[in-house]
Structure 1
Amino acid sequence: MSPNATPSITTAPEEKLNPTFPRDPLPPPPSDDVPSPEKTEYIPGAALALVLASLTLTVFLLMLDQSILSTAIPQITSHFHSLSDVGCASFQPLTGKFYTHFRAKPVFLVHLFVFELGSLVCGVARSSQMLIAGRAIAGLGAAGLVNGALTILSGAAPLEKRPLYTGLLLGIGQLGILSGPLVGGALTEYTTWRWCFYLNLPIGAISALVLFLIGIPDLTPKLPFTLPLLRSIIPLLDLPGFVLFAPASIMFLLAVQFGGDGSHAWSSPTIIGLFVGAGIIFLLFSAWEWRAGDKAMIPGSILRNRIVLMSTGQVACLTVCLVVASTWLPMYFQAVRGEGPTMSGVDLLPSILAQLLLSVVSGAAMSKLGYYLPWAVFSGAVTTIGNGLISTFSPTTKTASWIGYLIVVGAGRGAGMQVAFIATQHALPRALIPTCLAFLIFAQNFLSAISMLIANTIFTQTLFSQLAKHAPSVSGPAALAAGGSASAVRGLVQPGHEDELGGVLLAYSESLRNVWLMIVGVAGVGFVFSWGIGWRDVRKKDDGEGAKVDV
């Protein structure tokens, strides 16, 4: 099949685009290259199966990348002698605009290439700075992949079938989380952590090749890429909004980072100046976005939609819990319990299996029974309880206890992780779906980045105070520089002070407890948000205009 080949297609009923949303700057020519607004093309049969498999493979790749790093991070921090490098932030707020105005498949493939490039840079990194740069590059690509996969799937399948396909994509994709801890642990312990990044290259290449060979219709009509089209679309990307938003975000994250790593006092002019500057620029950004309306980087019609806002809060809080846990649970098993990377990956299996199982079960139940709100509420409640149980972890926690607690928190996360993506696709017209999906992913990434910086701050400050209390011969900066592997933590105890090893382990355990208490609060906020995501039967067929939510 040639790269430009288009499989046979079926035609859905007439679709009416949202009249308030900005149209393509140039009218589609009377050509077979661009579908008319009066019809929507869907991919049938084997071609749809291949597209779904390739998108799922990409989501699998991203989740594998995340879960591999969750077990490899303590080893990586020891290698580079810098615990503060854990949890750097990356996000890309413009991806929704790209998917709105350009054809989804090329935009997706470009993001996949950038992600692969970043993985290659990480694999060959020779310094902590180079590793961070590689993760930043990979993050720019990754920011457009999950929402891109969902956008492509939205154009490839009718609305009434998307809950099933979304459940398959996210559920099977979570097999990456299942295999990641074992693969990452084995690679870091028996070969090198660099293979955690090299492994992304062949998997991404397979996915890209399949998508490249199959013609994929877009959710809304799009013109072929040309330079005149690019020039006409650039004003619609809201670059002034991005220029205001980027420095505000960076200044805010830098302020939290500098205060959290102890390089600057929270009351220092640098920290205060960064916070004040971020606040002023953010106010300017908000004013600009209000003026731009639906042409803004974050359209006003999305921000005014209660279902979208509640869904964003629900999934962002759930993602924060997942991201923080994926980083700090391996720290507990390696630093406190003294296990290697491979065994710490095995220890995470109860949580991973429970999350995978409930993700599949909840997706199937939503497709069968129709309603998603009960699963969101269940997810918020169980995730809050599960994180509360994990906050009781200590150096002497019994095996049966921590296994049970991990099952509870995994089940809670799995039950609600896909709800927001289903709810918002049924709450908005088709033309707004790509931007909304990007907004959801952006909120997840941005809040996760902030939460990781806050978690690092909590851990660092608590570790300093707890070491002074329980192991006075060990300095906080030395512990921070040592990293989180089992051997590095135990190497902090100097000859003649062997009796302080228990105090060191207790200090690490108490520091992690405060991190868990933070995400207990986040999970509780997510539980509150879950009540507002609307009550709609997802089994109703697409009416061509998008869904109107019954609340």
Structure 2
Amino acid sequence: MMASNEKQQVENGVTSDAADLDKGPNTVGFSHPENPADDGAKAAEATDREYEWITGVKLWLVLSSLTLVCFLMTLDMSIIVTAIPRITSQFHSLTDVGWYGTAYLFANSAVQPLTGRLYSRFGSKHTFLVFLGIFELGSLLCGVAQSTNMLIIARAVAGLGASGLTNGALTILAASVPMHKRPPLMGIIMAVSQLGIVSGPLIGGALTQYASWRWCFYINLPIGAVCALLLLMIEIPDRLHQPGTKNPTILSTLSQLDPVGFVLFAPFAIMFLMALEWGGTTYAWRSATIIGLFCGAGGIFILFVIWEYHVGEGAMFPYSMMRKTVVWSSCIVICLFFGCLLTLSYYLPIYFQAVKGVSPTLSGVYILPGILSQMLMAIVSGVIVGKSGYYLPWIAASGVISATGTGLLSTFKPDTSTARWIGYQFLAGFGRGCGVTMPIVAIQNILPPEQIPVGMSLASFCQTFGGTVFLTFAQTIFSRSLLNGLKEFAPTVSPEVVITAGATGIRQIVRPEELLGVLEAYNLGIDRNFYLAAGAAAGTFVFCWGMGWYSVKKEAVNLEA
């Protein structure tokens, strides 16, 4: 019976963390931090289940749909940037600019952890389609908005829908293909979706100029509809094991979603993010409002941790999952990685537009070396991991190379040559591409199938949280460095005038003899943000070692056993 189970396990490409560790060969040089006995029952159940995977044309249709949806989600985060001036003119709502982004962000971050429980309880495809439907509804409401308040509410609705899209896409992928085939497919999803962030301002500017700002939101509707139709036509298996009653009541279903945990987590996320958004801008960092928000968020977070520990396996983030070194190490790496990525995505265009004086469209062309090298290596590294099995060398190399490349970016000056800014971007993008999917691969590799949706929701939250925190740090560093730089390099120029003019307007309001000093001040702020990004990249190298020396090719290991 045992031999039969092992054979079935090999044929279907499914193993559990504990089962592999009992056999021994899957670990080299690292001791596993978990107790194999904890997952023994799950391992036995997993080996008895037959998995049917999606292949051929159906697989590529599913992959295309998931990739396009993830692209739309990241596009929606940045496409509004270049449309905001036209929106504020139409609605006379300059004071509401911040809410157009934060309403989306708050709703997304507050609900994201709950989405993992929803995917675990109700299955992947239909839950994903519900979130896609909410996202599409939010986009429609944004497009038809007749007031600034309606637009803010619509952005929050879109954020609610977007909260379940990235983790849903990764959960569906986990249900569609075996573990050793996932890395290259994850690389495709992550590589293409990142284009949304950098291309959003360009697409938004073109739509706003030649059509209407409303098309920045309408563009989501036809593409999302096609993706939903393709997913509806293809049967996607679920890897869920739902013990309990056959006819659950509404009350029992709600209890499995950990509503108390959500009620505690949502205000923590909102208060913390509000403190980050308002600190240093709307309110001083030392103000009672900001201190109160941070204290309130900290207190609620402590209650959340206590409650989650008390609930155990029914929690939004089960303790058995969170105590795994691979999981929390991967989450830290994700936070640092996307902090680095978003900092560069926001401030590289500012360097080219403000310091180099090129147009927004041309600045998008100038950042292509980093984007293309990252896309290429995300796919290549995924393919090689699928064949070799080991992801740790790639994330470690990613930390070293990306920290080196980003550190070189911090040497940018107003007169930096074309060869240097192309080469440095290429090196930094090459490094990021080596590791962009590896934390997600590590989490999926270590968790049993029924915990993968929760693990993906945690990974998605860490992306959003890490990016938000680092962008807040970057804004603070840039603002202070710009003011200090103006005092040093252009003492006769009014800082208020420079700040009001914005990155693309400084050449129109500054006298020619003062321009070089203002450019040096801008360059100083940008370079210091690149220091921050380089530090985040170096941090991924420090924390990646907790992800462990494990292979995604578990079936090959079992054959040897």
**TM-score (norm. length: structure 1):** 0.83
Partner of residue 255, structure 1: 275
Aligned partner of 1:432 among 451, 463, 472: 451
Q: Does the CA contact (< 8 Å) of 2:478 and 2:525 recur in 1?
A: yes
Q: Does 1:344 align with 2:363?
A: yes
Aligned to 1:4: none
Q: Deviations over 1:204-223 (max 9, x none)?
A: 11101111222222111469
* Number of the residue aligned with 2:374: 355
Count the aligned residue pairs: 513
Whether 1:48 and 2:59 are equivalent positions in the alignment is yes
Equivalent AA in structure 2 for residue 53 of structure 1? S
Partner of 1:404: 423
Aligned to 2:166: 146
Counting only pairs closer than 5 Å after superposition, residues 289-328 of structure 1 correspond to structure 2 as 289-328=308-347
Aligned to 1:204: 224
Cα deviation, residue 452, structure 1: 1.5
Residue 28 of structure 2 corresponds to none
Contact 1:77 1:483 in 2 (8 A): no
Alpha carbons 2:185, 2:379 under 8 Å: kept: no
1:56-75 to 2 correspondences below 5 Å: 56-65=67-76, 68=79, 72=82
**Cα displacement (A) at 1:86:** 9.0
**C-alpha distance after superposition, 1:407-460 (max 9, x if no partner):** 111111111011111111111111111101111111111121122222222222
1:419 to 1:465, Cα distance in 2 relative to 1, 3 A: same
Structure 2 match to 1:27: none
Offset, 1:482:
4.2
1:265 alignment partner in structure 2: 284
The secondary structure found in structure 2 opposite 1:433 is helix
RMSD of equivalent CA atoms:
3.4
The alpha-carbon distance between structure 1 residues 151 and 474, as it changes in their structure 2 partners (threshold 3 A), is same
The question of whether the paired residues in 1 share the 8 Å contact of 2:119 and 2:168 is answered with yes
Question: Could you list the runs of 5+ residues in structure 1 that have no partner in the other structure?
Answer: 1-10, 24-34
Alpha-carbon contact 1:307-1:423 (below 8 Å) kept: yes
The 8 Å contact of residues 460 and 480 in structure 1, kept in 2 or not, is answered as no
Q: What SS class does the counterpart of residue 426 from structure 1 fall into?
A: helix
Instruction: Give the 3 Å change call, closer, same or farther, for CA 119–365 of structure 1 in structure 2.
Output: same
Q: Does 1:523 align with 2:537?
A: yes
Q: For residue 186 of structure 2, what is the amino acid of its counterpart?
A: T
CA contact (8 A) 1:170 1:418 kept: yes
Distance 1:509 1:168 in 2: 34
How many angstroms does 1:354 deviate by?
0.5
Q: Displacement, 1:187?
A: 4.0
Q: Note if 1:106 corresponds to 2:126.
A: yes
**Distance in 2 between the 1:325 and 1:118 partners?**
28
Shift of residue 110, structure 1, vs aligned partner: 1.6
CA distance in 2, matches of 1:359, 1:40: 27
Change (3 A) 1:514 1:105: same
Distance 2:211 2:490 in 1: 34
The aligned residue for residue 170 of structure 1 is: 190
Counterpart Cα distance in 2 of 1:459 and 1:14 = 48
When structure 1 is superposed on structure 2, of 236-245 and 153-162 the one drifting more is 153-162
Question: Is the contact between residue 191 and residue 374 of structure 2 (CA under 8 Å) also seen in structure 1?
Answer: no
1:533 matched to which residue of 2?
A: 547
Which segment is superposed worse, 531-540 or 132-141? 132-141
Please say if residues 310 and 532 of structure 1, whose CA atoms lie closer than 8 Å, have aligned partners that are also in contact: yes
The partner residue of 2:384 within 357, 365, 368 is 365
CA distance in structure 2 between the partners assigned to 1:319 and 1:198 by the alignment: 28
Alpha-carbon distance, 1:41 to partner: 3.9
Which residue of 2 is the match for residue 514 of structure 1? 528
Distance change in 2, residues 1:277/1:418 (3 Å) = same
Q: Which amino acid aligns with 1:217?
A: P
154-163 vs 394-403, which moves further: 154-163
1:94 is aligned to 2:105 = no
Structure 2: gaps spanning 5 or more residues: 1-10, 19-36
- The answer as to whether partners of 2:339 and 2:469 remain within 8 angstroms in 1 is no
Match of 2:507 in 1: 490
1:287-319 C-alpha deviation (Å, 9 max, x unpaired): 111211221111111110011111112222111
In the alignment, what sits opposite 1:459?
478
Shift in alpha-carbon separation, 1:393–1:15, aligned structure 2, 3 A? closer
Question: Aligned partners of 1:388, 1:73: CA distance in 2, in Å?
Answer: 32
- Judged with a 3 Å threshold, the aligned counterparts in structure 2 of structure 1 residues 368 and 159 are, in CA distance, closer, same or farther, namely closer
What do the CA deviations read for 1:160-200 (whole angstroms, capped 9, x no partner)? 43334333433455565786676456445655555443322
Structure number with higher helix proportion: 2
Structure 1 residues 107 and 268: alpha-carbon distance in aligned structure 2, compared to 1, 3 A threshold: same
* Structure 1: distance between partners of 2:256 and 2:218: 37
Deviation of 1:365 after TM superposition, in Å, equals 0.8
Asked if structure 1 preserves the Cα contact closer than 8 Å seen for 2:343 and 2:471, the reply is yes
> Is the 8 Å Cα contact of residues 341 and 533 (structure 2) preserved in structure 1?
no
1:84-126 residue CA offsets vs partner (Å, 9 max, x unmatched):
6796434122110110111211210121122223334444567
Letter paired with 1:300: Y
* SS in structure 2 at match of 1:260: coil
CA positional deviation for 1:12 = 4.3
In 1, Cα distance between the equivalents of 2:337 and 2:429? 11
Contact 1:376 1:416 (8 Å CA) reproduced = yes
Q: Report the TM-score, using the length of structure 2 for normalisation.
A: 0.81
> Does structure 1 residue 116 correspond to structure 2 residue 130?
no
Q: Quote the offset at 1:362 in angstroms.
A: 0.4
Give the whole-Å Cα distance in 2 for the aligned partners of 1:397 and 1:73. 31
Separation in 1, partners of 2:546, 2:161: 31
- Alignment partners' CA distance in 1, 2:150 and 2:350: 23
1:57 is matched by which residue type in structure 2? Answer: L
